Structure 1
Amino acid sequence: MTSPFARKERALFRDCRTTKRFLELMLQLAKQIEANKTGFRWFAQMRDTTGRAAYAGHLEYLKYALENGAEWYPETTAVAARFGHLEFLKYLRTTDCPWSNYTKGMAARGGHLDCLKYVHEEVGGPWKTAATEAAAGGHLECLKYAHENGCPWSKNTTSAAAENGHLDCLKYLLTTDCPLSESSKSSAAWGGHLDCLKYLHEVVGAPWKRTADAAACNGTLECLKYAYENGCPWNKKTLFATALRNHVGYLAYAVDKDCPWSIDVSLRVRNKVEILSFICNPLKYSKANELSTEDLPALGYESDDSTSAYSEWNELLTEEDLPAIGYESDDSTI
């Protein structure tokens, strides 16, 4: 359930993560071989050189790179804003550097109100998802500034605040005209933020949607319990989510509370040793007697080898799995 803005941010800086110390060393090296600059230009001319300088806020390196043929990284201004390099932004404005449409959003995500104000008041450009970025980062002042200066809400803004546990931002959003995302509860559960989950349920009355699945897959047991005890419905994907993440405690709780079982849970937990042990132990999995003959092989119980479920289960098992679930290795089945 990784949010779109989180994926965008990772992609934005994947090529730019270079420490300031590294840039200083490279610049020192360049100056030492000043008589033969051509031997160093390959680094200055890398596609993301200006982005690296923006990441570190290293103006001297940026100037050197530009003098030696560096091209502008498309998101140089956004990178500088994300890390709060106001002087860097001011310098970029005096050059021919193109301004990214996400510069405001990245300033808001980093909580750099001074950069956000500078870009909005001196440079301009679209807001894009600046409010959502501020909510995701938990920067209330940036969120307020963006909203008060015309930044539009998006359908993901409340979910962004809930997923990252920023209750103050969530309250602000829902006391203004920000629309409530239907996935807000699921986002709070996914992030494991019980306070946000309670607020959304008890004060706002948000819909449950797939909250139990989110809590089971990536949240906390407390969120899962709260959701179930307050009317959140189970579905077959809830148990699959717990098995996928190897959350045995979550699985045991859900099974005990009559969460419906799906055979997909057992067929897709390869190398999840604790989950295998749980579902293959009839003392722990008390509902084993209720399963059909076709279900039992998939749960690791002895049955007719000719069943398709048994064959599929054995294809998934490895030698390392067998001791954990109390099976003797049989080379003919692996």
Structure 2
Amino acid sequence: MNKKRLMHTPLQDLPNDVLKYCFSFIPGSYVTVGPVSKHFYSNYSTLGIHESASFNAADTLLQIGRNKRTTVGAVSSDLQLTEYCFIVGAPDKFMEKVCTEAAIKSRRDILDCSETFGINCKNIIERNSRGYSNRRIMDKLAEEGNLDMIKYLVRKYHLIRENSFSRIDDVFEGEDEGVIEGRLVFSGIDSVFNGAAKKGHLDILQWINENFPNYLNRTQTEHESMLEENGSYMFDTVFSEGNLATIKWFVDNIDLNIDSEEIYRMVAWRGELRIFEAMRGYYEPAIFNEEIFEVAALRGNVELLDYLYQNNCPFYSSENMYSKVLDQHDNDKALLAVKWLCCHNFPWDEETCASAASNKNLSALKWVRNEGCPWDERTLVEASWGYCGSKSDITEMIQYCIQHGCPLSSRACQYAMHNSDDSAALEVLKLLRTYSCPWDEKTCEDAADRQNFESLIWAKSNGCPWNPNTFLKVLSSRSITVIEYFLRSENELLSLDGIFERVFSSGGELGPHLGDKISDDSIIAKLKVLRSYGLPLTARACFLAAHLGRLRALQWLKYMECPWDVATCTGAVCGFQPEILKYAHENGCEWNENTYGWCFKYATEDEPLSSSVKMLQYLEENNCPKPSEIDRLFREMKAGSQPLSKE
């Protein structure tokens, strides 16, 4: 009985003496995986056919999940350990990780063993070579300069995509086995290129360029170059992370169709003076212009700035250079660049302090103020918002500004409400008010707009001016508590126009997205509160519910005996809501010629929605009145009449 036949023989039908005889011909390391091996492993001790120490080791060492020595790293480095894991039925996901690590370690024997036990190594290699989240295998091999293993994986597992310029036997130096003719680009080529470029493995880059020319070069005429899509990304990778040898090779060998100015700009962004100087001597003509200087300043690279300045590089002398420099994330580098600009007599103005405050660069703000840089109210305004995880950054900045005489402005309190964290917004607002910073209606309005309700209630309770628009913004939220807070003391708010629009929306304007972000439950809850404080329910509420497809809200309104009229059916038509149209009609809501007219307009457009066609059919079947002159009505509607103004 051969191995393949044995794999398909039900073990429960074989007596132990037959099993003993069969397995005596099979090496222990190649017992079949899966149910057979698990059954065999669980019974081998009673069969008495395995006397070697290796299987005793399996019994003690290879209990997956129990013995810490059977890690992915350990198994992927030991062929016997790999075989044992398969024999004892290690989980597939674990063994797939072993295969991944084995490929990175160039353990071809372990990959071969895994295939023997049924693991799809090709699928694993491809998964870990494509996309942006799993580029582990090719990345690691390329970074280590392991061209031999890259070629082995590409050849053995046929990691091929189409490209009309290479033959597989050329790529692998004329080896005979598995020659594949056709179009070639291998899966994972991006990872190989990036890894090799970063570490300077020119042999890998040369191999790609010679054997997959369509990937890098723009000189091919038969096929549109992949560089059209990938060139900028490759270029950035080489010049931002590659070593000097890689950069020189890339410039010499790849037709990028990118001028020398772009090359020097990227090298300047890289920020290494050694590479910049080398490229200047290697790649002529050297480009020194305002853009190169600005890049060095934006990177806060004082060493490169000195070099450019000494070599008479032209530069912009406008005041906004400070603002650009201060916008970078590294505050320490920004301060160094600010000092350099100041020492070289670059002009500054009030915007400089405002930029330092906006970027929460207190060190830079203090330094420029000590050097006499002017400021205005914008500095305090910018200091009051932009909370990003540390309240102390904002409070310390505000205290410095106010204690050193920065002009106050009500916009500071307003912008404090722009902090996304309500507790931070309130803390900043309280701090500003401690120093008597003025406020106005926009403080409450912006607090409501940003749903910083704790800040809103504190501001209103402490005398901050507000207007009815603040309440309308609150209605657009889901906070029943805050709605009631206003209604308890301000009953006249119920007479405001647009209340129902705010209840049904998160913005209050009728449009295609009205009601998209709010649930029926939230709408009903707000309507209940408003009704309990005396707001009469009107037909406008039913129209909005119908127009926005809020069937449950419409049903609740009818349960509460809210009136409706022909606008409800017309609203359902204009909102493309066939279910609501049917519900309204079947429950006694009226319709008229206008309802039919609007439905006819939408159903006869060049590409009508199926819902409009369905509703027109429903209106026909239920004898909805038609306009006497449907053609005239259609022309008028095409001319720009608005359906929401009709009844």
Work out whether 1:253 is the aligned partner of 2:458: yes
Work out whether 1:69 is the aligned partner of 2:262: no
Tell me, yes or no, if the aligned pair for 1:51 and 1:73 is still in contact at 8 Å.
Answer: no
The 5-angstrom pairing of residues 18-167 of structure 1 reads 24-25=194-195, 27=197, 30-36=205-211, 38-40=213-215, 41=217, 42=225, 46-47=231-232, 49-66=234-251, 67-70=253-256, 71-72=258-259, 77-94=264-281, 95=283, 96=285, 98-99=287-288, 101-122=290-311, 124-128=313-317, 129-136=320-327, 137-139=330-332, 140-167=335-362
The alignment partner of 2:373 has SS state of coil
For residues 255 and 287 of structure 1, the distance between their equivalents in structure 2, rounded to whole angstroms, comes to 12
Structure 1: gaps of 5 or more residues: 1-18
Structure 2: gaps of 5 or more residues: 1-138, 144-190, 218-224, 388-393, 529-551, 558-571, 573-647
What does the per-residue CA deviation read over 1:187-246, in whole Å, with 9 as the maximum and x for residues that have no partner? 101234121212211212323251112111136322222223323332333233323333
Select the structure of larger CA radius of gyration: 2
For residues 311 and 110 of structure 1, the distance between their equivalents in structure 2, rounded to whole angstroms, comes to 44
What does the per-residue CA deviation read over 1:75-122, in whole Å, with 9 as the maximum and x for residues that have no partner? 554554445332332234333364452444443443332223223223
Residue number in structure 1 paired with 2:553: 330
For residues 308 and 432 of structure 2, the distance between their equivalents in structure 1, rounded to whole angstroms, comes to 42
For residues 33 and 270 of structure 1, the distance between their equivalents in structure 2, rounded to whole angstroms, comes to 62
Tell me, yes or no, if the aligned pair for 1:57 and 1:88 is still in contact at 8 Å.
Answer: no
For residues 409 and 321 of structure 2, the distance between their equivalents in structure 1, rounded to whole angstroms, comes to 27
Give the direction of change, closer, same or farther, for the CA distance of 1:35–1:203 in structure 2 (3 Å limit): closer
TM-score normalized by the length of structure 1 = 0.73
Give the direction of change, closer, same or farther, for the CA distance of 1:103–1:185 in structure 2 (3 Å limit): farther
TM-score normalized by the length of structure 2 = 0.41
The alignment partner of 1:220 has SS state of helix
What does the per-residue CA deviation read over 1:252-295, in whole Å, with 9 as the maximum and x for residues that have no partner? 2222233333444455679743xx43442x24664432535116
Work out whether 1:202 is the aligned partner of 2:430: no
Tell me, yes or no, if the aligned pair for 2:357 and 2:397 is still in contact at 8 Å.
Answer: yes
The alignment partner of 2:404 has SS state of helix
The alignment partner of 2:290 has SS state of coil
Give the direction of change, closer, same or farther, for the CA distance of 1:233–1:181 in structure 2 (3 Å limit): closer
The aligned amino acid for 1:254 is A
Give the direction of change, closer, same or farther, for the CA distance of 1:90–1:232 in structure 2 (3 Å limit): same
The aligned amino acid for 2:207 is Q
Residue 58 of structure 1, CA deviation: 4.4
The alignment partner of 2:322 has SS state of helix
Residue range with higher mean Cα deviation, 198-207 or 98-107: 98-107
Work out whether 1:240 is the aligned partner of 2:445: yes
Work out whether 1:191 is the aligned partner of 2:391: no
The alignment partner of 1:156 has SS state of helix
The alignment partner of 2:490 has SS state of helix
Tell me, yes or no, if the aligned pair for 2:349 and 2:375 is still in contact at 8 Å.
Answer: no
What does the per-residue CA deviation read over 1:284-318, in whole Å, with 9 as the maximum and x for residues that have no partner? 664432535116826978xxx9xxx99969x8445
Residue 161 of structure 1, CA deviation: 1.0
For residues 270 and 35 of structure 1, the distance between their equivalents in structure 2, rounded to whole angstroms, comes to 66
The alignment partner of 1:132 has SS state of helix
Greater length-normalized contact order (CA 8 Å, ≥ 6 residues apart)? 1
Superposition CA RMSD, Å: 4.0
Tell me, yes or no, if the aligned pair for 1:239 and 1:251 is still in contact at 8 Å.
Answer: yes
The aligned amino acid for 1:175 is N
Tell me, yes or no, if the aligned pair for 1:78 and 1:100 is still in contact at 8 Å.
Answer: no
Residue range with higher mean Cα deviation, 318-327 or 249-258: 318-327
For residues 402 and 302 of structure 2, the distance between their equivalents in structure 1, rounded to whole angstroms, comes to 32
Tell me, yes or no, if the aligned pair for 1:271 and 1:321 is still in contact at 8 Å.
Answer: no
Give the direction of change, closer, same or farther, for the CA distance of 1:149–1:236 in structure 2 (3 Å limit): same
The alignment partner of 1:223 has SS state of helix
For residues 454 and 376 of structure 2, the distance between their equivalents in structure 1, rounded to whole angstroms, comes to 30
